[in-house]
Amino acid sequence: MSKEQKVLSPEKYITTKARNLELEKAYISDNWSSAGIATIIISRKHKDGNITHALFQIDLLAEGIVNTFFEFNLESESYNKLIEHYTKEQNLVECAYDLAHELIWGSFEFAKEFKLKPHVNFDTTQFLLEPISYHADEEFNIEFGDDNMPLVIVSVGNEKKELISQLTKNVGADSFKVINIEDLEAEEDDHHHHDHSHNHIFDLPENSEPDNGKNVENWTEADWQAFENGEMKVTEKITLQVIDFMYNSHFIDEEISDLINIDNLDVKKLKISKEPIKENDFFENTEIKTEVREQFLDMLDKPSNKHIEYFKNAIKLHPNNPQLYSYLTNTYIKLNNITEADETTKSGFIKFPDYLFGQISYAQTLLQEGMSHKVLEVFNNKLDLPTLLPNRKEFHILEVVNYYSIMCLYFTTQNDIASANVYWKLIKELNELEEEIVLLAENELMVLKATILKSQI
């Protein structure tokens, strides 16, 4: 590392010196055009061969620079491992810098037209790009938004109220579009499994009254006809099932990640219990367990700072109990202190890196922070429970469901629907579909499927 790099902070070095460094290869998610979202990596090489890179997550439809961060002065070996991970597991492919430049700055400019600000880290990471005035040799004719208007895609549990409110305030409700996946219109082809012999237009009803009680996969011709005619009143859950069914009917998934061992994911081969199992009991005795759980139940009813102090003290008194970190994290969440919740989750993971629920919580935090490239490291790159925890003979059903859900979420963030589907089908098989993390996994996967349906059909 040069003397100058030692003196300057990473942020200061990037903003003042990075554009003097040689551009390395650029990478992009391979389905960016159909998905309307993209993950892009831009790298620059220092004179000593080390690499500084930035990752950009962009929304071409509305929001522009959704997330971005950098990693400074990585040794080439570390950087190469990172790129190998992205290209192999997250479906990033090499692309021309000019394409990446046009996408990032184009999405920035499009969002700026509607007074939407980029992620705060863009103040730094933009200096790993060429200036906005850079002239590309090739014109790519990239379309942003829908008919030059922002397009906001809303789903169950992800209503994007803040974005809609901001756009309404900035440019007026008539200057952008909102698509609710409940209102997805998609044209059916001749190859659906429900024996339709002609094409249809689906208009999902806007109500959320009770449906006919059947799973979509078991609908008859009459059910589909009633649905299409708007005669069937459906729930939000059925809406998501319809999207899932339509996607699986229209598209044949690509190959799943070669890290996935289908045989080890077979739930019939796992010993799964709905009763408490000893591997998850870290309390010294029943008396302590009862006291802690009474405090937790009291916290759920009326959360307060006294519960934070209680669980902090409990961690000091019982330093070998990873469950207490979960109780403290949930208390912070109840009090809407997300920063402390995330820090507690991270601390618990660092101290107990093999505690499954702690791994799942930390992985979810990484996903929320846009650090999906670190998720598999949390699980030692193991994508099934028998390989991750070879000494465990039995798993609680919530361990299995939460683990499968985080894997479904992870592959969804990588736009790898084929691999995400593997875990989603297993979750449905276990029939524990009301867990919060399951609902999140379902919503995110169906949003991705709905986006692709909308762009391809």
Number of domains in the chain: 4
What radius of gyration do the chain's Cα atoms show?
Answer: 24
Residues 210 and 347 in one domain: no
Q: What is the pLDDT of residue 198?
A: 26
Question: d(Cα 366, Cα 363) in Å, to the nearest integer?
Answer: 5
Note whether 423 and 408 are within 8 A (CB).
Answer: yes
Which residue ranges in the chain fall short of pLDDT 50?
1-5, 184-212
Residues 313 and 268 in one domain: yes
User: For strand 64-74 and strand 51-59, is the pairing parallel, antiparallel, or unpaired?
Assistant: antiparallel
Determine, yes or no, domain membership for 143: no
- Listed residues 221, 250, 279: the one ending a domain: 250
- Listed residues 250, 271, 305: the one ending a domain: 250
- What pLDDT digit, counting tens, does each position of 419-454 carry? 999 999 899 888 777 778 888 888 888 888 888 777
Residues 216 and 289 in one domain: no
Read off the CATH number of the domain in which 443 is found: 1.25.40.10
Which residues does 259 contact at the CB level (< 8 Å), separation at least 6? 89, 376, 381, 383
List residues bridging with 39 in a β-sheet. Answer: 57
Q: What is the pLDDT of residue 186?
A: 36
Determine, yes or no, domain membership for 135: no
Q: What is the pLDDT of residue 214?
A: 59
Question: d(Cα 219, Cα 177) in Å, to the nearest integer?
Answer: 32
Determine, yes or no, domain membership for 346: yes
Residues 273 and 375 in one domain: yes
Residues 443 and 296 in one domain: yes
Q: What is the pLDDT of residue 234?
A: 67
Residues 311 and 391 in one domain: yes
Question: d(Cα 366, Cα 359) in Å, to the nearest integer?
Answer: 11
Determine, yes or no, domain membership for 141: no
DSSP classification of residue 75:
-
Question: d(Cα 204, Cα 234) in Å, to the nearest integer?
Answer: 8
Residues 266 and 391 in one domain: yes
At position 68, the amino acid (one-letter code) is T
Question: d(Cα 5, Cα 125) in Å, to the nearest integer?
Answer: 17
Residues 54 and 189 in one domain: no
- Retrieve residue 170's tokens: 């900035």
Determine, yes or no, domain membership for 286: yes
Residues 434 and 299 in one domain: yes
Q: What is the pLDDT of residue 207?
A: 36
Note whether 129 and 105 are within 8 A (CB).
Answer: yes
Expressed as residue numbers, the domain containing 240 is 184-250
Q: What is the pLDDT of residue 188?
A: 32
Cα 152 to Cα 60, 160, 179, distances in angstroms: 10, 8, 6
Determine, yes or no, domain membership for 257: no
Which run of H or of E encompasses 52? Answer: strand 51-59
Residues 307 and 401 in one domain: yes
For 275, other C-beta atoms within 10 Å of its C-beta total 7
Question: d(Cα 212, Cα 116) in Å, to the nearest integer?
Answer: 42
Residues 411 and 434 in one domain: yes
Residues 220 and 302 in one domain: no
